[in-house]
Structure 1
Amino acid sequence: MSDPIRSFRHFREVPERLWRWKNFSPAEIACRGTGQIKLHPEALDKLQALRDRLGKPLIVNSGYRSPEHNRAVGGAKRSKHMEGTAFDISMANHDPKTFEQAAREVGFLGFGTYPRSNFMHVDLGPARQWGAQFPPRATPFAPETPPAREVLAESRTLKGTGAAGVATAGAAGVEVAQEVLVETQGAVLPLVPYLDTLRWVFIALALAGIGVGVWARLDDWRKGRR
């Protein structure tokens, strides 16, 4: 006897004892619009089997959809998503042909291809297929390229904060020297007023350096370098 299909008003209400699909969470399968979830064990078993066969993560763009959310996103009137038997899976880390073959082998019957949005729909059937084919790829899937980073010695952030550090240390050093010279008095006493001015110069340089560091960090974030 197959496991019963269960529905919950929110994915947080799913008892831990009922969730046996190790590579997925209720939040991934739940309706994106309402948080509701329908546990269809057969469909979820096939999804887990597909994950095991491919040996890499499946990014679920859409799992269960409540009727109201399905209407809101323009889904088909009889969408299998409302039954909890359909999944839209991103092809960002999969070769579409390999993915489709593996999905058929584990028992999925319905297939929809969406190359412009870079995902594939799979469901329990009936057997059918629609959508345009994915264009040939130079590589099986999009490579994971880390964001460009500046050479450490050339980083504007480090330059700015480094200048601030040097200037701060300089200001502190001048202050110490001032105290020493005040104590010695005598012949070096006329130099004390100039050291006070020099200390403020270093403080100004420290503030400028910090400003450059903050600006560079914000600029890096805006350009995607950090």
Structure 2
Amino acid sequence: MLPNFSADELRCQGSGELRLAHGFAPALQGLRDALTLAYVRDGMGADEAQSAAAMIITSACRSPEHNADVGGAEESLHLTEGGLVDGCAAVDVAADAEGDADYRERLIPVARERDWSIGYHSSFLHLDLRAAYGHDRVEFDY
């Protein structure tokens, strides 16, 4: 589907549905590419930077039923339908606050520069593009 993301990792874990908001897929790949470049600028070789910039998606698309099952917000940006935008415009990325501190330190400023909203959890980062769809960019804690 994308150079660094498969359709399977973006699908709803409940229904298998894959419905992304218009422009979300290239923006997600752009974020990954920008993160890789940040590692290269810090002196890593290209192959090492590609590996270091890997984004492990723990949640992307969610059907309304699956969203309810996992306790997601009613207007979640993960929703494939019925959310704030038409299709999924969010991912959760594995990023343990202690074990992945360096990864977080690199990803967060790159995401901010590209106008992504960020939700902070001890075991993951929520990233969404609400600002691209007419909503204010925010940062929040779970």
Q: TM-score, normalised by structure 1?
A: 0.46
The correspondence of residues 79-98 of structure 1 with structure 2, limited to 5 A, is 79-82=76-79, 83-92=87-96, 95-98=103-106
Structure 1 gaps, min length 5:
1-18, 133-226
Q: Map residues 206-221 of structure 1 onto 2, 5 A cutoff.
A: none
Q: Report what 1:111 is aligned to.
A: 118
Amino acid at match of 2:121: Y
Say yes or no: does 1:71 pair with 2:68.
yes
Determine helix, strand or coil for the equivalent of 2:78.
helix
Q: Which has the higher contact order (CA 8 A, sep 6+)?
A: 2
Please name the residue that 1:33 is paired with.
Answer: 14
How many angstroms apart in 2 are the aligned matches of 1:73 and 1:30?
Answer: 15
> Identity over aligned residues, as a percent?
35
Compute the displacement of 1:39 (Å): 2.7
Aligned residue in 2 for 1:161: none
Residue aligned with 1:54, SS: helix
Residue 52 of structure 1 is aligned with which of 21, 24, 33?
A: 33
Amino acid at match of 1:88: D
Paired residues of 2:15 and 2:63 also in contact (CA < 8 A): yes
* Structure possessing the higher radius of gyration over alpha carbons: 1
- CA root-mean-square deviation: 1.6
After the TM superposition, which segments of 4 or more aligned residues of structure 1 sit over 6 Å from their partners? none
Name 1:124's counterpart in structure 2.
Answer: 129
Q: Please list every run of 5 or more consecutive structure 2 residues that lacks an aligned counterpart in the other structure.
A: 37-52, 80-86, 131-135
After TM superposition, the score normalised by the length of structure 2 is 0.71
What amino acid is aligned across from residue 93 of structure 2 in structure 1?
I
Conserved? CA contact 2:115–2:137, under 8 Å: no
More helix by share: 1
